[in-house]
Amino acid sequence: MLKLIRMLVDWLLPVFFSFIRPLIKWFLRSFTRLSEIQRIVYGAPAGAVRTIRVENCLQQSRNQLIQETINEFNTIVENCSDEEFEQMPARMVSIVSRTKNIKPSSHPDFGHLLGRCVEQIWSYRRLVYTVDHLRAIPYDSNNLQHEEMLLELWNYLMPNEPLTGRISKQWQDIGFQGDDPKTDFRGMGILGLENLLYLAREYNNTARHILSHSMHPTSGYTFAIVGINLTYMAFNLLKDEEAKTHFYNNAESFKQPCSLEHFNKFYSYLFFEFDHYWIDSNPTNIMDFRSIFQSFEVIIMEALHDKNCLFKSNLIVEDI
C-alpha cells in the first residue's frame, strides 16, 4: 500500500505543479516585478545551481521564439565555428530580453549573467559532440598521427627505457593486454589514447607515480586498460549529463566555456582518485577490479549529484 501511495505521489506532484506553475509565476512576477529567469540569474548562486535552473527555465518556456532558438542552437552547436558559437549567448540574451520586456538600461547585469549561463549550457552540449566524435575514431596504425601519439605515450611513461619495436611485449609493462596496443582502443577509439596521453604529458610525475602503483606484484592493475575504462566512465558521465555540475562549476570558476581540455582534466582527476581508492580498498588481486571499479563509479556519481561539486582538476602532486 505504501509503495502504491508513493507511486501516486510521484506521478501526481509533477502534474499538479504543471497546473499551478503559471499561477506561481504570475504571483511572483506581480510581487517582485521580475520575470522567472530574472529571479534565477539574480538570486541563484553562480555555477551549476544557476545554470541548471536557467536551462530548465528556458526548456519549459512556452514562448515560440525561445523554443525555436533552443532547437536551432541544439542543431548547429555540433558543427558551428568558434565565431558562430561566440555569438550564441548574445543572441539568446537579446531574444529573452525582448520577449520578457527586460530593458538593458534598467537591468544592466542581466545580459552578462544570462549570457554566462547560455555559454555553459551550449559549450557542454558542444563538448559532448566533440568527445563522442573522438570516441568514434578508431585507432589506425596506418595513421602517422595516431602512431606518434602512441609512441609519445611510451616516452612520457617510460623515459629511461627505449621501446625495442612498435609491436613488443614491452607494451604490457604500461598495462596493455598484448604486444600491439591498437587492439585495446577498440571500445573508446582515439579518445582513450587522447586521455592517457594528456595525463602522461600534463601530469607526468603523477602519471608515472600511478604507473608504479599499478606494477605492484600482488595488488597491481593494468594501467592502460584501467585508463581506457576510466575514459568509458568519464564519457558516459558526460553524455548522460551526470557531470554537468562539475563542468558548469568549472566553467564558472575559470570564466571559460566547457572544452576538451576540461574533459581531459576531469579524466585525470578520475584516474588519480581511482588509484587512491584502489589502494585503500586493499585488493587481493586484479580479480577484485570489477567490484572496486563499480563502487568507485557510485562514489563519483554521488559526488556529482551535489550542485556545488567541483573536482580539483589541476592536480598538485608533481613532487610526490
311-320 pLDDT, tens per residue?
A: 986 565 443 3
Contact 146, 139 (CB under 8 A): yes
Q: What is the pTM of this model?
A: 0.88
Task: Please tell me the predicted confidence (pLDDT) of residue 76.
Answer: 96
- Cα separation, 38 vs 227, in Å, equals 43
> Whole-angstrom Cα distance, residue 28 to residue 22?
10
Q: Which tens digits make up the pLDDT trace of 89-105?
A: 999 999 999 999 999 88
Q: For residue 31, what pLDDT is reported?
A: 42
Report the pLDDT value the prediction gives residue 11, as an integer from 0 to 100: 56
Place of cell 592517457: 196
Question: What's residue 312's pLDDT?
Answer: 81
178 pLDDT tier (thresholds 50, 70, 90): very high
pLDDT in tens, 123-171: 999 999 999 999 999 999 999 999 999 999 999 999 999 999 999 999 9
Residue 28 predicted with pLDDT over 90: no
Cβ 201 vs Cβ 315: under 8 Å: no
Where residue 29 falls among pLDDT bands split at 50, 70, 90? Answer: very low
Q: How much is the mean pLDDT over the chain? A: 90
pLDDT in tens, 256-296: 999 999 999 999 999 999 999 999 999 988 899 999 999 99
High-pLDDT (> 70) share of the chain, %: 87
pLDDT band at 218 (very low <50, low <70, confident <90, very high): confident
Question: Which DSSP letter does residue 149 get?
Answer: H
Which are the contacts of 257, defined by CB distance < 8 A and separation ≥ 6? 85, 119, 120, 123, 126, 251
